[in-house]
Chain A
Amino acid sequence: MSVPLSLLALLSQGPAYGARIKAEFEARTGHAFPLNVGQVYTTLARLERDGLVVPDGGPDDEGRIPYRLTDVGAQQVSTWWESPVDRSEPARDELVMKLALAVATPRVDAQAVIQRQRAAAMSHLQGLTRAKLALTAPGQPPQPASIPTPTTLSDQVVLEHRLYAVEAELRWLDHVEELLHRAGPAPAASAGPAPAATPPSGPPSAAPASPNFARPAPSDTRH
């Protein structure tokens, strides 16, 4: 539903034809969600069918037909701004499936799966941080107090979402690792010694692993 509503939101600022709407949409969403013009016109046709937009006069010299919102369309846009986006249905996520299977599958080293994923996520985070630096200060010394233009701000919103998503993933990986750590050796690794009831051998000040980081040594059977 997000693309039709986004197009309606753009049209709430005035009539526009398809190619113009496409360009505006991409510029204002950090170029993260490319559209093709055909998709835009198909969507506009559906919106017209549903009574949310109407052609605003005839075609121009190049045959382009501008569209404008109807009152019902304007109401839809208002409702959209005023309603939270429903995030309660989790997306199908390969990593979640993979890790959930890894911790329950014999002979799969879930620890190693986490470790590889964490390294990849951290590298990704580093790349995004570089992109952010280039976005906010291309070729310039850092000027964090500078005020971004609206378009740059949209780019930042999209990039920061990706950064926070990767950060959340890293935290989640650390947490799953801690869960594994506390669960002790997996059945597949039961050839090794059973968890010992001995106190930790680490530094007395060593607190339980933080949610940010928890990576047990393979033989570590604490907790």
Chain B
Amino acid sequence: MTEPILQLVDCTRVHGQGETVVRALDGVSVQILPGELVAVMGPSGSGKSTLLNLAGALDLPTSGHVVIENQSTSTLRPDELAALRRRRVGVVFQDLNLIPSLTAAENIGLPLELDGRRVSEARRAAVGALHELGLDELADRYPDQMSGGQQQRVAIARALVGERRLVLADEPTGALDSVTGDGVLAVLRARCDAGAAGLLVTHEARHAGWADRVIYLRDGKVVDEAVAR
């Protein structure tokens, strides 16, 4: 049986205490298999960001477990958590994705270099990642020499470089026009079809349409789920 890349098991995240307590996430269970793209929808304050932070090991659940490729985040020391994030998890935000002073290839190779790989090895992996996405010509361009859509596609390449198989995307199409945004989502979809696991937070039903499953959150709970036919 295929092992999930990401599992959230009965996760609750509580902020504050006493009268100011907020249950940002309340008993949520989600698992994502290799090849799956799961979208999360919900209004502001529904727990989407909290779920993303737990899934990316940026935060720990108050109760329950988050398991990323068989490693429970609650059992790791801070340095081990940092290594897990570096090696296993890629994140694509709405903006501020790429470092302006680095080329696309350097940006993509950076996580590998931070993890102790040689520069030449990181470069090879980065160029390979760009090639897979048909973005070869961007390798030596700086972010300000790329369009917004190209930058986001490079960001997805970076999110899944090396051994990373989990990509978390928070409204990755941002202010891009609809056609360019589709191109970014098509790349995310392609990476998942190639075996990655994706978690996409979005307000747009249209974007959620790219996912295999759509989870609806409200007040920290999963209240609905839609599966592709």
Measured CB to CB, the residues of A under 8 A from B are 115, 118-119, 122-130, 132-133, 136-137, 141-145, 163-164, 166-167, 170-171, 202-210, 212-217
Residues of B within 8 A of A213 (CB): 41-43, 46, 203, 216, 218
Q: A122-B208, A137-B186 are in contact. Are A127 and B228 (CB under 8 A)?
A: yes
Residues of B within 8 A of A210 (CB): 43-44, 203
Q: Mark B179-220, 1 if CB is under 8 A from A, else 0.
A: 110111011011000000000000111101111101010111
Q: Are B226 and A118 in contact (CB under 8 A)?
A: yes
In the complex, how many residues of chain B place their beta carbon closer than 8 angstroms to a beta carbon of chain A?
45
Q: A142-B134, A212-B203 are in contact. Are A207 and B186 (CB under 8 A)?
A: no
Q: A144-B186, A205-B45, A212-B205 are in contact. Are A126 and B228 (CB under 8 A)?
A: yes
Instruction: Check B223 for interface membership: any CB of A closer than 8 A.
Output: yes
Instruction: Check B149 for interface membership: any CB of A closer than 8 A.
Output: yes
A142 CB contact (under 8 Å) in B189, B212, B224? B189
Q: How close is B39's CB to chain A, nearest CB, in angstroms?
A: 9
Instruction: Check B1 for interface membership: any CB of A closer than 8 A.
Output: no
Q: Are A129 and B179 in contact (CB under 8 A)?
A: no
- The docked-state distance in angstroms from the alpha carbon of A122 to that of B41 is 12
Instruction: Check B24 for interface membership: any CB of A closer than 8 A.
Output: yes
Q: Are A144 and B206 in contact (CB under 8 A)?
A: no
Q: How close is B122's CB to chain A, nearest CB, in angstroms?
A: 22
Q: A133-B186, A143-B134, A144-B186 are in contact. Are A123 and B227 (CB under 8 A)?
A: yes
Instruction: Check B22 for interface membership: any CB of A closer than 8 A.
Output: yes
Q: Are A207 and B43 in contact (CB under 8 A)?
A: yes
Residues of B within 8 A of A132 (CB): 182
Closest A-chain residue to B229, C-beta based? A123
Closest B-chain residue to A171, C-beta based? B205
Q: Are B229 and A124 in contact (CB under 8 A)?
A: yes
Residues of A within 8 A of B227 (CB): 123
Q: Are A129 and B45 in contact (CB under 8 A)?
A: no
- The docked-state distance in angstroms from the alpha carbon of A166 to that of B214 is 15
- The docked-state distance in angstroms from the alpha carbon of A141 to that of B221 is 36
Q: How close is B12's CB to chain A, nearest CB, in angstroms?
A: 13
B228 CB contact (under 8 Å) in A123, A170, A203? A123
- The docked-state distance in angstroms from the alpha carbon of A214 to that of B46 is 10
Residues of A within 8 A of B80 (CB): none
- The docked-state distance in angstroms from the alpha carbon of A115 to that of B218 is 14
Residues of B within 8 A of A202 (CB): 22, 45, 219-220
Q: Are A215 and B216 in contact (CB under 8 A)?
A: yes
Q: Are A142 and B219 in contact (CB under 8 A)?
A: no
- The docked-state distance in angstroms from the alpha carbon of A204 to that of B22 is 8
Instruction: Check B140 for interface membership: any CB of A closer than 8 A.
Output: no
- The docked-state distance in angstroms from the alpha carbon of A26 to that of B218 is 44
B218 CB contact (under 8 Å) in A171, A208, A215? A215
Closest B-chain residue to A170, C-beta based? B205
Closest B-chain residue to A143, C-beta based? B134
Q: Are A206 and B219 in contact (CB under 8 A)?
A: yes
Residues of A within 8 A of B210 (CB): 126, 129
Closest A-chain residue to B179, C-beta based? A144
Q: Are A125 and B133 in contact (CB under 8 A)?
A: no
Q: Are A207 and B224 in contact (CB under 8 A)?
A: no
- The docked-state distance in angstroms from the alpha carbon of A217 to that of B42 is 13
Q: Are B226 and A141 in contact (CB under 8 A)?
A: no
Residues of B within 8 A of A123 (CB): 226-229
- The docked-state distance in angstroms from the alpha carbon of A207 to that of B216 is 16
Q: Are A206 and B209 in contact (CB under 8 A)?
A: no
Instruction: Check B132 for interface membership: any CB of A closer than 8 A.
Output: yes
